């Protein structure tokens, strides 16, 4: 423990020395002039003046020494497709894709929006974009047209890359109609070109002449073309990734290039224990931050093969993941507690069909890891199960055990200790002053933020300042918006959110966004959405709605139909991932005398807990209505 604490302390007290040493893990086309520039707090720049490139560090630099080694392993249990690309083959595909983008006018600083299923071409597109010094914005393929349009409007991409369809559980999800609707909604912000990978899964997609381009045709046309790497200054943005907030408008997290590459390279060693030549298997999606950091960039930068999987953990049977671990000798696996809880419901015999001796550790993140799930999977796999806590904004873990630095104990229920580079504090919600051992506090970081964390909110520096650094009176602190508590050994346990963002199976959803979708239904006058504890998904959204005409609820059939209509509207506006588990109808929402909706009290009742202090409640009958609505259902 002492060895790690000394290591962490140097990263805080001597950040230039610490990160200057770690910077040697990546290639620099031009050496940096200064490790850290922090002259405009809380904005900071890492490795100032240094020139590098994410694609070069993930792909090109490995070709000379391990060109024939597996780099990208693509498996789809949905279509039965399976393909292994060596580093040399990956370089060819990526450089060719970059030439295709270049031919459509994409250059340094331009944005490329990627709306793709989990296929190899999605990874090619990401790497090709940063190869050109362009900025990618990957949007999760489960988002609906309106959500996609909002991200198009904000990023204003020059080119969009998409596919005809994705698949999940044997069901085809057509992408092109959603894309067409989103582009119409985006209006003038819509990209001039759309490159479509036609998998032949959906009906022949309608192609708009002059705008829509077939990838297979372009690939044949540019078969012998290769785009060279464009070197960029360390602070140059690599990508935008949108995350939900407490307002309806998603925040575009902007990531730099050099700091991100260094942070990921170090984390692969110190946190995940991955080594060049091994295989890393993250079960996430490229639409989320885990997919960016630990499907695409992190493993490849470390010289590992990365396994890209399209499918469910139970299809064709619950042994599919473990079959892949055996076949490709996976050494490090990264998943989410929800997925493990799904597997826990299956016959444990599935876990023992295959040789898992290559697996060194299983990492879980995205939501709190409960003790029964952790103990079950650790007992079945007989390998360390390591929790880690981080956010879209940070890009890599804030809390974990760093066994690559020095062996550390795992405490089930806690993600671990503050990770090197993070000057992490637990502070009072109002004053920003540190709280003591065993006391609840907001997880905060004293700036400067370490390499790899967000640089700003895309195009909105003021929003970056106000959202993340404006919450603590006279103290400049980054707020995670998560509650935590620290034990005597320094281990931190996550207690939940301080804001109205909920965590559904590891995916963050803004309740405000869901509320806006629900209130868009003509029959709804007012709505409150809360996250309610769920044994499988961690949390699920539940909506409590006031209708304009209460008489319509007298008929149970009409009430049920209205609930279905509201849920369908949310699916159309945001995608099925945001669907409320239930919509309850009440005559009024519980509010304070000043008109603020008591969401935490609603949540407590929905979870069967005490609603807490109700001295500010305007009408006690409103809470009773919430109880009755839940009981009646």
Tens-digit pLDDT profile for residues 148-171: 999 999 999 999 999 999 998 999
Q: Please compute the mean of the pLDDT values over residues 553-578 and round it to a whole number.
A: 88
> What is the predicted pLDDT for the residue at 596?
64
Residue with tokens 């085809």: 172
Kindly state the percentage of the chain with pLDDT values over 90: 72
pLDDT over threshold 90, residue 593:
no
pLDDT over threshold 70, residue 248:
no
pLDDT over threshold 70, residue 515:
yes
pLDDT over threshold 80, residue 65:
yes
Residue 169 CA to residue 311 CA, distance in Å, equals 7
Most confident option among 202-211, 245-254, 513-522: 202-211
Instruction: Give, for 168, the enclosing helix (H) or strand (E).
Output: strand 165-168
pLDDT over threshold 90, residue 604:
no
Enter the DSSP assignment of 30.
B
Tens-digit pLDDT profile for residues 347-392: 989 999 999 999 999 999 987 788 888 999 999 999 999 999 999 9
Tens-digit pLDDT profile for residues 205-224: 889 999 999 999 999 999 99
Residue 344 CA to residue 367 CA, distance in Å, equals 17
Instruction: Give counts: helices (H), strands (E), the chain.
Output: 20, 32
Average pLDDT, the chain: 92
pLDDT over threshold 80, residue 18:
yes
Q: Which residues contact 63 (CB under 8 A, 6 or more apart)?
A: 87, 88, 91
> What is the predicted pLDDT for the residue at 500?
66
Q: Please compute the mean of the pLDDT values over residues 317-335 and round it to a whole number.
A: 97
Q: Output the six-digit token pair for 417.
A: 């200790």
> What is the predicted pLDDT for the residue at 595?
58
Beta strands in 478-523 (DSSP E): 478-486, 492-497, 501-504, 507-510
pLDDT over threshold 60, residue 594:
no
Q: Output the six-digit token pair for 591.
A: 């509010």
**pLDDT-based confidence at residue 502 (cuts at 50, 70, 90):** confident
Q: Please compute the mean of the pLDDT values over residues 287-311 and round it to a whole number.
A: 97
Tens-digit pLDDT profile for residues 106-142: 999 999 999 999 999 999 999 999 999 999 999 998 7
pLDDT over threshold 70, residue 460:
yes
Angle (CA) 519-523-528 rounded to 5° is 35
> What is the predicted pLDDT for the residue at 614?
67
pTM comes to 0.86
Please say whether the beta carbons of 623 and 605 come within 8 A: yes
**pLDDT-based confidence at residue 342 (cuts at 50, 70, 90):** confident
pLDDT over threshold 90, residue 589:
no
**pLDDT-based confidence at residue 200 (cuts at 50, 70, 90):** very high
pLDDT over threshold 80, residue 1:
no
Identify the CA nearest to 126 among candidates 118, 116, 134, 136: 136
pLDDT over threshold 90, residue 406:
yes
| 70-79, 261-270, 465-474, 544-553: least confidently modelled range | 544-553
Identify the CA nearest to 451 among candidates 3, 120, 21, 7: 21
DSSP assignments along 571-600, one per residue: HHHH-GGG--SEEEEESS--BBTTS-B-HH
Walk me through the domains of the chain, giving residue ranges and CATH numbers: 2-311+388-445 (3.40.50.12780), 501-632 (3.30.300.30)
* Pairwise pLDDT comparison (102 vs 472), residue with the higher score: 102
| 37-41, 235-239, 509-513: least confidently modelled range | 509-513
pLDDT over threshold 60, residue 246:
no
Residue 273 CA to residue 369 CA, distance in Å, equals 21
Q: Please compute the mean of the pLDDT values over residues 219-236 and round it to a whole number.
A: 98
> What is the predicted pLDDT for the residue at 498?
74
Q: Please compute the mean of the pLDDT values over residues 326-346 and round it to a whole number.
A: 92
Instruction: Give, for 38, the enclosing helix (H) or strand (E).
Output: strand 34-40
Q: Which H, E and C letters describe 386-454, residue by residue? A: EECECCCCCCCCCEECCCCCCCCCCCCCCCEEECCCCCEEEECCCCCCECCCCCCEEEEECCCCCCCCC
**Other residues' Cβ atoms within 10 Å of the Cβ of residue 13:** 10
| 55-69, 280-294, 329-343, 514-528: least confidently modelled range | 514-528
pLDDT over threshold 90, residue 91:
yes
């Amino acid at each position: 423990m002492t060895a790690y604490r000394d290591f962490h302390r140097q990263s805080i007290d001597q950040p230039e020395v610490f990160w200057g040493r770690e910077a040697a893990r990546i290639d620099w086309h031009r050496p940096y002039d200064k490790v850290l520039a922090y002259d405009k707090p809380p904005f900071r720049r890492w490795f100032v003046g240094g020139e590098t490139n994410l694609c070069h560090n993930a792909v090109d630099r490995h070709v000379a020494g391990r060109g024939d080694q597996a780099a990208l392993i693509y498996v789809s249990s949905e279509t039965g497709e399976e393909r292994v690309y060596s580093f040399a083959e990956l370089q060819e595909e990526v450089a060719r894709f970059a030439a295709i983008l270049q031919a459509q006018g994409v250059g340094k600083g331009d944005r490329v929006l990627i709306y793709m299923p989990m296929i190899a071409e999605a990874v090619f597109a990401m790497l090709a974009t940063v190869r050109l010094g362009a900025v990618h914005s990957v949007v999760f393929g489960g988002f609906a047209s309106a959500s996609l349009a909002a991200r198009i409007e904000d990023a204003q991409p020059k080119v969009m890359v998409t596919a005809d369809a994705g698949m999940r559980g044997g069901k085809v999800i057509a992408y092109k109609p959603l894309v067409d609707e989103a582009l119409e909604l985006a209006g003038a912000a819509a990209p001039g070109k759309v490159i479509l990978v036609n998998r032949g899964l959906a009906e022949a997609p309608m192609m708009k002449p002059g705008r829509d381009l077939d990838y297979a045709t372009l690939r044949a046309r540019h078969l012998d073309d290769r785009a060279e790497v464009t070197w960029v200054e360390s602070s140059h943005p690599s990508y935008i990734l949108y995350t939900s907030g407490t307002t309806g408008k998603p925040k575009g997290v902007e990531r730099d290039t050099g700091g991100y590459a260094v942070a990921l390279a170090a984390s692969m060693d110190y946190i995940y224990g991955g080594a060049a030549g091994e295989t890393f298997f993250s079960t996430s999606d490229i639409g989320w931050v885990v997919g960016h950091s630990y499907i695409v960039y992190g493993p490849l930068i470390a010289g590992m093969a990365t396994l890209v999987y399209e499918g469910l953990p139970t299809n064709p049977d619950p042994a599919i993941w473990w079959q892949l671990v055996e076949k490709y000798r996976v050494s490090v696996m990264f998943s989410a507690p929800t997925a493990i809880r799904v597997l826990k419901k299956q016959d444990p015999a599935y876990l023992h069909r295959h040789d898992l001796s290559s697996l060194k550790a299983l990492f879980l993140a995205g939501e709190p890891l409960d003790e029964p799930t952790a103990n079950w999977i650790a007992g079945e796999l007989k390998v360390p199960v390591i929790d880690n806590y981080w956010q879209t904004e940070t890009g890599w873990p804030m809390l974990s055990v760093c066994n690559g630095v020095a062996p550390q104990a795992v405490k089930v229920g806690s993600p671990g200790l503050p990770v090197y580079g993070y000057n992490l504090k637990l502070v009072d919600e109002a004053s920003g002053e540190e709280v003591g051992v065993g006391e609840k506090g907001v997880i905060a970081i004293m700036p400067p933020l370490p390499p790899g964390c967000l640089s700003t909110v895309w195009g909105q520096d003021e929003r970056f300042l106000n959202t993340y650094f404006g919450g603590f009176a006279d103290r400049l602190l980054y707020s995670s918006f998560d509650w935590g508590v620290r034990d005597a050994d320094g281990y931190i346990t996550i207690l939940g959110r301080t804001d109205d963002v909920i965590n559904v199976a590891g995916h963050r959803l803004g309740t405000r966004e869901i509320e806006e979708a629900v209130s868009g239904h003509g029959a709804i006058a007012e709505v409150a959405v809360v996250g309610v504890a769920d044994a499988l998904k961690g949390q699920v959204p539940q909506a409590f709605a006031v209708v304009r005409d209460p008489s319509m609820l007298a008929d149970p059939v009409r009430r049920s139909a209205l609930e279905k209509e509201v849920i369908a509207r949310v699916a159309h506006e945001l995608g099925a991932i945001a669907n409320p588990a239930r919509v309850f109808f009440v005559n009024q929402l519980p509010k304070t005398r000043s008109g603020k909706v008591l969401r935490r009290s609603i949540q407590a009742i929905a979870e069967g807990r005490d609603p807490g202090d109700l001295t500010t409640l305007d009408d006690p009958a409103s809470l009773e209505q919430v109880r009755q609505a839940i009981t009646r259902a």
